[in-house]
């Protein structure tokens, strides 16, 4: 059931077996696992059922270090959480992502691929993927488009699956389940301001909750799970200083450190040998009933041989601006509208559309000799056409023959000729203790210290991307695809201006068996505590090669099983 926290009697203490803080992908997944059982669950959510700017502003904070989004941008603070703007990209972590790699400082999870394999199967159902296939060859066999002819020893193709937009919001998918559940109560508008512990700091005893309207109450539970995202998981732990001056679980100064993202930037440009090259395989497209997004990556054996982290590369074609402009012109829009009218698919302004198309098709008249019995171009026009390369000649088509003719020309050719390909590299950064979330003195409207993010990358990351691009460039040349230009300098101390993250907030309560190297253990239990768990991507030890959401769900399912087992 859903309850508005503003209606809870002030000063009261609610009781549950499990209290989950945060109704995003992790929190909702976890709560659903207990529906219909005997375990009483309270799910505490800061927001309501819809976006509210005042609530969202509780995320405001500061950014130092590398440029990053304002802190209220990458996440959403209402029921369903960040799934409301999730891009739906899914691919499981590879086994190597969990391994300790000598060349990656602080790498190595306490769990491995086998530990989570069965949870991935369940997670695929939770996120409602339409296929359980992750092998690239299987997708290629069924795809109408062809991948580039790369050798596969050094550069491989990976395939991500994309959840359709109408299935991404966990609020829409699972809100009704939680609303109908008699043993799960969702408290909306409820902000946790502190997790209280016993004197020794080993047991989380209760939560202090505040609403923006000024109501305050407590929640007591035998087990507490923090699931409010990669920044606020750390924020709540650091801010809970009632009995622990440095925050709970922070006896080794690790909470908030090792903040990870999946940075990306345009790292290379390819001039194709053949402008009619097709890279549609690498664009988001549908195969069967599944949306896929293939990308390039460095083969794992090659990564291991050279000591490289994971880099995956998206390919975006750049077309000749004249031809691309023609395809988007008003006259071509009129042509399409005209077609819709004539085929009964739409209603348009027939006269205006017809006029646009006809006048555009007469463009060539301006370049022909007046009064000639046939459309003879001026000699200088012929001379210009003769002097330029075939590539440049195509670019002259819109000017000489009009946008409609240019559009029809490119349609007959199947694709717009490609001027170049932009390669966007997204990489797995090295875990870095200096990349961290800390607290500011300034407090938000419910009294929580605001967060400061200091996002840092390292020289290892720079070398990693650079070397990966060199490997890709050699393969692009070998395969005859074209030539690659690398667009950033390894010797530079900075990063390209277009470096951005992917809204993937990870690592701030990292998982490790050693309390001196991680905040939570392999069961997501906070080291040194008996009943406080963390869910979400803040437990990631390394950023991995896959997008985080499906893995967040898989880990939440695994945590649910652990809590059920513990309860028996």
Partner 1 sequence: MIVPTPISRRRFLVGVLGFGATTAFIGTRPWRALVRTVDGTLAERFAALFTRRESAGAVGHAYLAHAPEEASLSELVDAIVARLPGGRAAVLGADQAELRRLVAARIDEDFAQERVVEVAGWLLSSTEARLYAVAALA
Contact set with partner 1 (CB under 8 A): 269, 271, 273-274, 389-391, 470-471, 473-478, 480-487, 489
**Nearest-approach distance from CB 148 to partner 1, in angstroms:** 12
Question: Which stretches within 257-349 are classed as H helix?
Answer: 300-306, 321-327, 330-342
**Nearest-approach distance from CB 314 to partner 1, in angstroms:** 19
Contact present, 39 and 17 (Cβ < 8 Å): yes
**Nearest-approach distance from CB 276 to partner 1, in angstroms:** 8
Q: Give the angle subtended at the CA of 394 by the CAs of 327 and 326, to the nearest 5°.
A: 15
What are residue 445's DSSP bridge partners?
none
Residue (324 or 444) nearer to partner 1, CB: 324
> Regarding beta strands 155-162 and 184-188, do their DSSP bridges make them parallel or antiparallel, or are they unpaired?
unpaired
Residue (151 or 434) nearer to partner 1, CB: 151
**Nearest-approach distance from CB 389 to partner 1, in angstroms:** 7
Residue (69 or 409) nearer to partner 1, CB: 409
| DSSP output for 390-446 | HHHHHHHHHHHH-HHHHHHHHHHHSSPPEEEEEEEEEE-PPP-TTSEEEEEEEE-TT
Burial profile 201-226: b = 16 or more Cβ within 10 angstroms, e = fewer = beebebbbbbbbeebbbbbbbbbbbb
Residue (338 or 418) nearer to partner 1, CB: 418
What are residue 226's DSSP bridge partners?
21, 534
**Nearest-approach distance from CB 105 to partner 1, in angstroms:** 25
**Nearest-approach distance from CB 365 to partner 1, in angstroms:** 29
The secondary structure of residue 364, as a DSSP letter, is G
Contact present, 398 and 326 (Cβ < 8 Å): yes
Helix/strand/coil for 43: strand
Residue (150 or 337) nearer to partner 1, CB: 150
**Nearest-approach distance from CB 430 to partner 1, in angstroms:** 22
Q: Other C-beta atoms within 10 Å of 97: how many?
A: 23
What residue ranges in 53-133 does DSSP mark as E strands? 61-65, 89-90
Please give the span between the terminal C-alpha atoms of the chain, in angstroms, as a whole number: 25
Q: Other C-beta atoms within 10 Å of 180: how many?
A: 11
The secondary structure of residue 546, as a DSSP letter, is S
Residue (391 or 566) nearer to partner 1, CB: 391
Residue (220 or 424) nearer to partner 1, CB: 424
| DSSP output for 503-532 | S--B-TT-B-SSTTT-SB-TTSBBTT-SSE
**Nearest-approach distance from CB 382 to partner 1, in angstroms:** 18
Question: What CA–CA distance (Å, rounded) separates 405 from 360?
Answer: 8
Residue (241 or 463) nearer to partner 1, CB: 463
Residue (478 or 516) nearer to partner 1, CB: 478
Residue (232 or 475) nearer to partner 1, CB: 475
Please name which of 453, 465, 519, 83 lies closest in space to residue 261, comparing C-alpha atoms.
Answer: 453
Residue (406 or 471) nearer to partner 1, CB: 471
> Regarding beta strands 204-210 and 191-197, do their DSSP bridges make them parallel or antiparallel, or are they unpaired?
antiparallel
**Nearest-approach distance from CB 275 to partner 1, in angstroms:** 9
**Nearest-approach distance from CB 480 to partner 1, in angstroms:** 3
**Nearest-approach distance from CB 547 to partner 1, in angstroms:** 29
């Amino acid at each position: 059931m859903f309850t508005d926290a503003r209606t809870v009697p002030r000063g009261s203490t609610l009781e549950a077996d499990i209290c989950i803080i945060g109704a995003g992908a992790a929190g909702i997944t976890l709560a659903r696992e207990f529906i219909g059982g005997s375990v009483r669950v309270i799910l505490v959510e800061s927001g309501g059922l819809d976006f509210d700017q005042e609530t969202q502003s509780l995320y405001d904070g500061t950014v130092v270090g590398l440029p990053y989004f304002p802190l209220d941008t990458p996440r959403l603070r209402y029921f369903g959480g960040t799934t409301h703007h999730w891009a739906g990209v899914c691919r499981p972590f590879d086994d190597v992502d969990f391994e300790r790699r000598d060349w990656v400082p602080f790498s190595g999870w306490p769990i491995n691929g086998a530990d989570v394999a069965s949870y991935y199967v369940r997670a695929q159902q939770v996120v409602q993927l339409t296929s359980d296939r992750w092998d690239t060859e299987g997708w290629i066999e069924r795809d109408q488009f062809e991948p580039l002819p790369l050798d596969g020893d050094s550069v491989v193709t990976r395939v991500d699956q994309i959840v359709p937009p109408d299935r991404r919001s966990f609020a829409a998918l699972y809100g009704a389940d939680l609303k109908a559940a008699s043993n799960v109560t969702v408290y909306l508008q409820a902000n946790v301001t502190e997790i209280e512990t016993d004197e020794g700091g080993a047991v989380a005893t209760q939560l202090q909750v505040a609403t923006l309207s000024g109501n305050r109450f407590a929640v007591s539970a035998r087990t507490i799970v923090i699931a409010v995202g990669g920044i606020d998981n750390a924020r709540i732990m650091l801010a809970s200083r009632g009995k622990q001056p440095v925050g709970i679980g922070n006896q080794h100064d690790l909470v908030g450190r090792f903040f990870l993202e999946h940075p990306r930037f345009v790292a290379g440009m390819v001039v194709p040998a053949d402008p009619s090259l097709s890279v549609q395989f690498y664009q988001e497209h549908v195969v069967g009933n599944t949306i896929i997004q293939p990308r390039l990556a460095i083969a794992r054996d090659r990564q291991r041989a050279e000591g490289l982290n994971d880099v995956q590369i998206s390919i975006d074609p750049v077309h000749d601006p004249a031809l691309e402009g023609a395809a988007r012109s008003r006259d071509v829009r009129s042509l399409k509208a005209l077609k819709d009218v004539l085929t009964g698919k739409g209603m348009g302004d027939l006269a205006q559309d017809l006029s646009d198309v006809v006048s555009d098709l007469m463009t060539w008249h301006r370049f022909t000799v007046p009064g000639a019995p046939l459309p003879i171009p001026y000699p200088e026009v012929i001379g210009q056409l003769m002097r330029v390369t075939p590539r440049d000649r195509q670019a002259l088509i819109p000017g000489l023959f009009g946008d409609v003719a240019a559009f029809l020309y490119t349609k007959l050719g199947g694709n717009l000729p490609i001027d170049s390909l932009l390669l966007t590299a997204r990489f797995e950064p090295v875990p870095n203790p200096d990349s961290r979330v800390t607290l500011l003195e300034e407090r938000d409207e419910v009294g929580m210290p605001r967060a400061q993010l200091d996002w840092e990358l390292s020289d290892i990351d720079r070398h990693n991307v650079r070397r990966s691009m060199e490997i890709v460039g050699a393969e692009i040349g070998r395969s005859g695809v074209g030539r690659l230009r690398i667009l950033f300098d390894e010797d530079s101390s900075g990063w390209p201006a277009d470096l951005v993250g992917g809204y993937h907030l990870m690592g701030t309560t990292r998982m490790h068996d050693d309390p001196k190297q991680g905040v939570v253990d392999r069961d997501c239990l906070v080291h040194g505590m008996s009943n406080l768990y963390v869910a979400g991507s803040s437990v990631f030890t390394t950023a991995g090669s896959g997008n985080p959401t499906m893995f967040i769900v898989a880990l939440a399912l695994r945590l649910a099983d652990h809590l059920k087992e513990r309860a028996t």
